[in-house]
């Protein structure tokens, strides 16, 4: 008579799962009591993976981690719905040994599991499904604007190639400038090439304008719109980006949490009694940093307190570091407005040290 070996019981044990997520597969490595107990590769089906973990480690307290990427947060949400603890981390937050030049999916998953077990990983803020849907509009507009810029650069490059633009000509590519190049076209082939790019440019303009109209409709029903628009330097588009990416900033427990989410936390190198702070970590939301810098350059011209703050800093630390400090102070003041339920005021205090 055939007997079966009973499966190991994980009742009450902490189970740490590193997941290397790919388009078609998940590579999974599991650690219990500082030992790898299981490795496998499975189809990239979040619900199926959740069922596997609950089956293989029945009774265990399962903790999972994977790196944020193209797959988004579907895996995180399905694991959470199944009662499994899940965090998503920024790739730059995962420690890599200086002499480790071998990279495989299993090694990556094992590294995640090991660092999760050691408590060295901190999850990023996961947006709600509604927030993720809302920011599709502003993010898609951003992508189309970048594509349009690339098309303009391609037209300029072809014109340079055939001597139609002087090296010192810094004019922005515009419909009028394009027509000037077309009038001076050296050949029918050149005309066909840049007209093809012109058609793409025009199509992108139409789609961008359509998305802007949709963003205006979104703003009309957004409770956060008035607070963001009251801040100096914030216009209709930047308000949409801030609201869609940050939401109600009162949700952040302190200013440091905001800085971490936006990637504006300074890197730190400490040794003994010496603490050195360097460049910002850039581990946060990349869609925010660029727009926050643009806003802050405008804000220093509109908010006298920010202008004084910038003028005091830039002689000793340079303009780039000084404007990062302004960004940190500005978003701290916007958060204060949300917490008070008021519009932005010039005399709001901030909590954290905003120098860098």
CA distances for 220 relative to 213, 225, 240, angstroms: 11, 8, 11
Structural domain contains residue 249: yes
> Could you give the number of structural domains in the chain?
3
- Confirm whether 124 is domain-assigned: no
Strand-pairing partners, residue 167, are: none
Return the pLDDT at 101.
Answer: 55
Whether residues 252 and 335 fall in one domain: yes
Residue 356 in any domain: the answer is: no
Q: Model's pTM, two decimal places?
A: 0.81
d(CA 139, CA 245): 9
H-type helices in 162-280, by residue range?
Answer: 175-183, 188-220, 225-230, 236-246, 255-262
Domain-ending residue, one of 88, 117, 146: 117
| 1 domain-assigned | no
**Domain final residue pick, 83, 117, 151:** 117
Q: Which of the 8 DSSP states describes residue 250?
A: G
Same domain, 216 and 236: no
Q: What is the pLDDT of residues 201-227, one digit of tens each?
A: 999 999 999 999 999 999 999 999 999
Structure-token pair, residue 343: 């519009």
38 belongs to a structural domain? yes
Q: What is the CATH number of the domain that holds 24?
A: 3.30.420.10
Cα–Cα–Cα angle for 293, 147, 221, nearest 5°?
60
* Spatial contact of 16 and 31, defined as CB atoms under 8 Å apart: yes
In terms of domains, do 210 and 233 share one? no
Q: Which domain holds residue 269?
A: 226-340
Along the 356 residues of the chain, how does pLDDT read in single tens digits? 443 444 678 999 999 999 999 999 999 999 999 999 999 999 999 999 999 999 999 999 999 999 988 888 999 999 999 999 999 998 888 887 645 555 688 999 999 999 999 999 999 889 889 999 999 999 999 999 999 999 999 999 999 999 999 888 999 999 999 999 999 999 999 999 999 999 999 999 999 999 999 999 999 999 999 999 999 999 999 999 999 999 999 999 888 888 888 877 654 443 444 434 445 555 567 778 889 999 999 999 999 999 999 999 999 999 999 999 999 999 999 999 999 999 998 765 555 444 44
My answer on whether 259 and 325 are in the same domain is yes
Residue at which a domain ends, from 95, 117, 139: 117
């Amino acid at each position: 008579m055939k007997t079966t070996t009973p499966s190991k019981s994980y009742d009450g044990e902490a189970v740490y799962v590193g997941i290397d997520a790919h388009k078609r597969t998940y590579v999974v490595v599991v650690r219990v009591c500082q030992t790898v107990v299981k490795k496998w590769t499975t189809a990239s089906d979040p619900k199926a993976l959740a069922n596997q973990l609950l089956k293989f480690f029945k009774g265990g307290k399962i903790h999972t981690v994977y790196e944020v990427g193209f797959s988004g947060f579907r895996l995180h949400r399905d694991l959470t719905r199944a009662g499994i603890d899940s965090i998503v981390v920024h790739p730059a937050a995962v420690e890599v040994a200086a002499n480790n030049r071998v990279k495989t999916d299993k090694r990556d998953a094992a590294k995640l599991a090991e660092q999760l077990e050691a408590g060295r990983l901190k999850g990023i803020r996961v947006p709600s499904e509604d927030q993720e849907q809302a920011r599709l509009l502003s993010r898609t507009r951003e992508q189309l604007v970048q594509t349009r810029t690339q098309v303009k650069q391609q037209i300029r490059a072809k014109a340079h190639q055939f001597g139609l633009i002087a090296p010192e000509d810094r004019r922005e590519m515009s419909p009028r400038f394009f027509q000037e190049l077309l009038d001076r076209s050296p050949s029918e082939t050149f005309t066909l090439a840049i007209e093809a790019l012109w058609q793409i440019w025009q199509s992108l303009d139409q789609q961008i304008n359509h998305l802007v109209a949709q963003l205006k409709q979104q703003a009309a029903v957004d409770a956060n719109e008035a607070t963001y628009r009251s801040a100096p330097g914030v216009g209709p588009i930047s308000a949409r980006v801030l609201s869609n990416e940050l939401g109600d900033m009162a949700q952040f427990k302190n200013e440091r949490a905001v800085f971490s989410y936006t990637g504006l936390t300074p890197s730190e190198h400490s040794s003994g009694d010496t603490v050195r702070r360097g460049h910002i970590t850039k581990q946060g939301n990349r869609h925010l940093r660029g727009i926050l810098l643009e806003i802050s350059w405008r804000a220093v011209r509109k908010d006298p307190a920010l202008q004084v703050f910038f003028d005091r800093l830039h002689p000793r630390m340079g303009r780039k570091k000084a404007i990062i400090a302004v960004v940190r102070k500005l978003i701290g003041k916007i958060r204060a407005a949300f917490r008070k339920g008021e519009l932005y005021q010039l005399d709001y205090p901030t909590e954290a040290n905003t120098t860098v």
